[in-house]
Chain A
């Protein structure tokens, strides 16, 4: 019906007039060809190009033009065909594992996202380190994604197949054994029961008499083992318990950084650093260079490294005097007797609860230490007589003998572990290299063609530890497991598996470990209803397991003759002439195994704050006397000096280091890797100002820093790290140094850092050591003094008592400045690495930094007393105490102010306050005026000066520019673009995740369930994070503690982060 209706536009149409017809025909025709005619045109259809082809051509050409016009970024993303059960995209998975590289041991938890490990944290629930990790362990995850790792075995530099390599090696090993030549297995300290088992099998296969296993530690502690043999007839290292020690005297032992099982000691030590507990430990440190441990000591006494032994003899005699024991004869001239006597008195007063340790690798020195500990009754208390420590098994003499044998041609095969790099770290590298040429078969397990591996015939690259199974037995009764957290990225094979293959054992290493463990547990007899699977999975889940081992108690029966002969050796040593050099390992780079890791290179040294270099640390007074540059900064380079030791010459920059004993210098080991142009990592070499590697005159890449392992001496069969008789001479040249801090003193600003002594803290009221900043205000017609925290110029953000208010409490007393938080923040928040040149220009990007201040001899009051003007006083306050400054560390990050000065000044409101008290940075909105950074009193904002993720300058330093290393980026955190401001977000991604988690569980966010990366990484729990609105939370207690204060309170910015007054037990 409806279709029958017809509508006309007008009567003309209805009547179909002539005029209308004509008009309608011409209505749309402008050309002579009407539509019908056009479509009916047969000529067109005769062409070979039909319409469809035309459209195809059009499409292709447009696409081609588009493709040619722009370079499309290729992003490889491969979706799961079947979703793995345990992986949910966006939800992290955690695995308990263990880190061990010969220097650091720690039970860790590995965070993986979509199958990629991206973050390492300490395992707080299990393991001897109680959650302690350091910067090196934290940063180790980056090594997994190192694109310069070898992909598959190499024979003489050429790629090979595993099967061929195995067959060849097996044949040649057998030939070597048959030929009566030695097969040497050179590894780091092996603390893995299964590895040891595999080595035993290997020995069995090729003949016990033919195979030697040489343990080699680049930084050796053989002296302690040897001393225990001399003292007690037992070559071992006992377990130390710092948590029981009320008085700790360390002579040159950097037990917070590198001394034995330091991850355990840090956790124990920090327990007794709370001034609000019943007691607080007292820590004496006698040392030459200012170490991390020394900077945390309550009393630090600078001594020459060569005096360590004498100081201990003196200490022994002082303690003996008090204890009524016999003293060691001999001169202890030059030792600061007053401090020794004080330490001895404190030790003796707390006998049985005190501990003396030494860092020296000289057995004689350690024998005296043992004697003191016996006098003090430390054995059975702070030093275990039941538990042994198995790390650091290096046999320096064996290493020396091996090198001799190699040169003698008696070694038929040399197999070098992946954890050592002797061609880099041996002092007698030349001999080693010469010997290597005389060895029939040389095999390296190194993951890189590094200094050693590149000289070996065969390289059988080992897995990264995050790809490996492993087990560890760091100390008696404690087993730890490492499990793979990702499939192998390259065609590598685990070292142990390789060894097993060569013995003809085809078992997977995982099964092998299980088998070994099964054997162990069976032998322990502790098997009532013992289900191995339960035991195994429990151990795997926890990462470690403690087993009661039948006690093998021993009594410390001291060999008095050993003590007196050691004392004689020490006291009769000639007084040193010339300058003393002490070689140490840095917090970041350690022994150098991870030196191509850009996170660690960029990590400022906790003490000197220097990045990307090693240097001669020299007392400023000596620097001045030598006429070297005193002030280092962007355009103030360091002087280069030639260090001559035993005929060897090394040119290094000189960095003035307050606290360094005059007459001695310290130089860090672990630098100068890749000097032979080995491909050990992108970030291993110096880069130019506009990108690319710096090249020397021969066109070679220049390593970062200098290798000083060649200076390591040999003393009674042990490596010696203190060398005397050096000389230093300026070359007249300069060298830029990149330091993140150029002002080293606090300038008397006690509203930044507050500190007091333990005695004063105990006796004085809060106002005396933590006086609130008060301002005069008018109220009710009267002028009254009011705490600045209670004064508001304008309405506060309504965050107090409403919902969450995230905050932090940072205890300056327990912060040891180790900088684990810095690398943790780096890896959690995808902080760019900017390289040396940019750090030198004051553009490091760390969201979290540790400010380090030295004390100064001057303050305004003293200056006034001495009749000095303010200007002069201030100028002198800029200069730290040269000889023995006290050091304070202050972790500094965005303070999340409730009256944030940055928020008001941003013209586009890119930085705002959240209703949970966070100061938020909206990168998308930021236009980069940098006004916020200028107006930040704490200077914690970081600007993206360049496009760090693409600009050439950073191609070789920033992991985000490497296709492989990019995988380490945390997918929860944006990689910032050029021109935007960034800063600490208080790990807002973790807060969100925590809130979501609580919401799903239907319960409030539990205190401690959300932790920032820095708080999580802090080995001493100096950083507490939580909800300030939760009155039961730890952070609330911290904020309301009597030691709590807000940094720069008088500025009135009302931070959500509070600090706790540093208390020294001085």
Chain B
């Protein structure tokens, strides 16, 4: 059996048995949902429906219902896209990269984080779709055999790379998440008394029998998928960043973008995981599994990635001056002193200054502070994308075309709507899916459980 150093803090607190873990995780699925859940899902689905209504209006009327103009061709649409993709990063990073690095603390958070990834990527994927002028022809971005002569996609276009990157990422994440769910679904199936639910969970669990052979295969597939997913963590956001980096627009045309975007993505992803889990551990009484230590670990990741992002911001500024390129330097001067300076400074405060507070142990182990800062970070990361996209476009080369971007109610509606859809999906997940990888957790109970560690002494 795996042995863990005694000085490591336990990952499962309290006196928990295997059965306790099962009950703690499956309990919410078996029991009636609390009133708060109904309240939350009502609110979030109303917002979701509103958002979908905005999308329908957008598609039926035209992109002109957004606030874009001849100069600013992308604004909230792509901002939201990048923001959601970034959020999606944490899940894969936690489940794949931390799995490869054998970080056991991931087990308490990977399930929710992956679910968040799936939902976030779904939200992200919405935007490149609806931002198209003719969404009904969206399938043209796929290299499909067709009857339009020898028409083929343009492999030079970063948008096409995006299509591949996002779709690959989504499918791998989905499979990875689902594979992890199989043993847990089997556990639920075995406990279910309601025949319909039993049947459904039976189908979902793919006939898992819990044999040693099943477990070996499970471990192997997880490892293989982790291996596959790990490069995707880096590739997806690198490719998203190339939408900008390969262009000729000052403020976009930057070689620093791929690493900067990836760390930004991890940064915002962890922040969103924290936002969600801090609520969930409280509501679902999972304090023993998602411990302060977990929160602290995540906060440390936030300090690291936040600092990388900060360095990237400063590097950009330095290079814009050092390059001596008139347009490049103006783009950055405009960013921090032009009409959108408020968004730049909002981004700087939220992304660079606020995570530095986590250097203080008191703050990074304080749940309220963490919760607030996690939201601040996500606001900051939204503004980062807004700053990159809008402030670069609105004043580029030819001054006659300089303009401003103002969002319309449809811009706002669609964005808020995706938040509604996201939370609706997440609430459904929390209600019907095992929110912790319970079978995986059981594997570390004896090595990292508080009770067992103490007994060893």
User: Which A residues are within 8 Å of any B CB, using their own CB?
Assistant: 633-635, 741-743, 745-749, 751-752, 838, 841-844, 849, 851-853, 870-871, 874-875, 890, 892, 901, 904-909, 925-931, 933-935, 937-939, 941-947, 951, 977-981, 1047-1048, 1050-1051, 1053
Contacts and interface: CB of A to CB of B under 8 A. Distances in A.
Contact of B398 (A931, A934, A937, A947): A937
B279 to A, nearest CB: 36
B403 A842 contact: yes
Contact of A905 (B137, B247, B406): B247
Contacts of A951: 61-62
18 contacts: A741-B401, A841-B67, A842-B70, A842-B403, A874-B337, A905-B156, A905-B159, A909-B153, A927-B132, A930-B73, A931-B74, A934-B393, A935-B247, A941-B70, A942-B70, A946-B61, A978-B133, A1048-B397
B140 A927 contact: yes
Contact of B396 (A928, A930, A937): A937
B159 A929 contact: yes
6 residue pairs, one from A and one from B, having the closest CB atoms: A928-B133, A979-B133, A945-B64, A842-B69, A930-B73, A851-B400
Nearest to A928: B133
Given A752-B398, A892-B398, A946-B61, A908 B153 contact: yes
B346 interface: no
B141 interface: yes
A603 to B, nearest CB: 16
Given A892-B398, A909-B153, A927-B140, A945 B249 contact: no
B73 A931 contact: yes
A871 B160 contact: no
A795 B396 CA distance: 26
B326 interface: yes
Contact of A937 (B128, B153, B397): B397
A930 B133 contact: yes
B428 interface: no
Given A743-B402, A927-B132, A943-B70, A752 B248 contact: no
Interface string B55-91: 0000001111001111111100000000000000000
B397 A938 contact: yes
Contact of A934 (B132, B247, B400): B247
B195 interface: no
B191 interface: no
Contacts of A841: 67, 69
Given A747-B330, A892-B400, A938-B398, 7 more contacts: A743-B400, A752-B399, A908-B154, A928-B132, A931-B159, A939-B71, A946-B64
Nearest to B403: A842
Counting contact residues on chain B (CB < 8 A from A), the size range is 35 or more
A1047 B401 CA distance: 15
Contact of A743 (B64, B337, B393, B399): B399
B235 interface: no
Contacts of B333: 870-871, 874
B247 to A, nearest CB: 5
B152 interface: yes
Nearest to A636: B404
B141 A908 contact: yes
B183 interface: no
B157 interface: yes
Contacts of B68: 930, 943, 945
A938 B402 CA distance: 11
Contacts of A742: 402-404
Contacts of A979: 62-63, 132-134
B163 interface: yes
Contacts of A741: 400-401
Contacts of B137: 927
A928 B398 contact: no
B247 A838 contact: no
Contacts of B156: 904-905
Nearest to B334: A874
A939 B396 contact: yes
A870 B160 CA distance: 39
Contacts of A1048: 397-398
Given A930-B68, A931-B159, A980 B402 contact: no
A906 B73 contact: no
A634 to B, nearest CB: 6
B15 to A, nearest CB: 57
**At the interface, is chain A mostly helix, strand, loop or mixed?**
loop
Nearest to B64: A945
A174 B289 CA distance: 108
B248 A1051 contact: yes
In this complex, the member of B154, B325, B330, B398 whose beta carbon has the largest number of chain A beta carbons within 10 angstroms is B398
B40 interface: no
B311 interface: no
A754 to B, nearest CB: 14
Interface string B187-202: 0000000000000000
B131 interface: yes
A872 to B, nearest CB: 9
A935 B62 contact: no
A635 B406 contact: yes
A533 to B, nearest CB: 54
A724 to B, nearest CB: 36
Interface string B369-410: 000000000000000000000000101111111111010000
A838 B397 contact: no
A938 B163 CA distance: 27
A746 B154 CA distance: 35
Interface in B321-350: 325-327, 329-330, 333-334, 337
A519 B72 CA distance: 65
B434 interface: no
Contacts of B329: 870
A926 B402 contact: no
A899 to B, nearest CB: 9
Given A838-B64, A939-B71, A927 B138 contact: yes
A656 B434 CA distance: 65
Contact of B152 (A752, A909, A944, A978): A909
A928 B163 contact: no
In this complex, the member of B62, B69, B134, B399 whose beta carbon has the largest number of chain A beta carbons within 10 angstroms is B399
A51 to B, nearest CB: 39
B398 A939 contact: yes
Nearest to A874: B333
In this complex, the member of A935, A1047, A1050 whose beta carbon has the largest number of chain B beta carbons within 10 angstroms is A935
Interface string B121-144: 000000010011111011011000
A742 B406 CA distance: 15
Given A838-B64, A947-B62, A874 B330 contact: yes
Given A633-B404, A908-B153, A946-B61, A927 B133 contact: yes
A471 to B, nearest CB: 44
Given A747-B399, A939-B70, A943-B70, A635 B404 contact: yes
B73 A933 contact: yes
Given A931-B73, A945-B62, A906 B154 contact: yes
Interface in B212-265: 243, 246-249
In this complex, the member of B62, B67, B249, B325 whose beta carbon has the largest number of chain A beta carbons within 10 angstroms is B62
A980 B134 contact: yes
A277 to B, nearest CB: 29
Nearest to B326: A749
Given A634-B406, A906-B157, A937 B399 contact: no
Nearest to A838: B64
In this complex, the member of A741, A745, A746, A939 whose beta carbon has the largest number of chain B beta carbons within 10 angstroms is A939
Contacts of B396: 937, 939
A943 B400 contact: no
B158 interface: yes
A875 B396 CA distance: 16
A929 B78 CA distance: 10
Contacts of A935: 247-249
B64 to A, nearest CB: 3
B283 interface: no
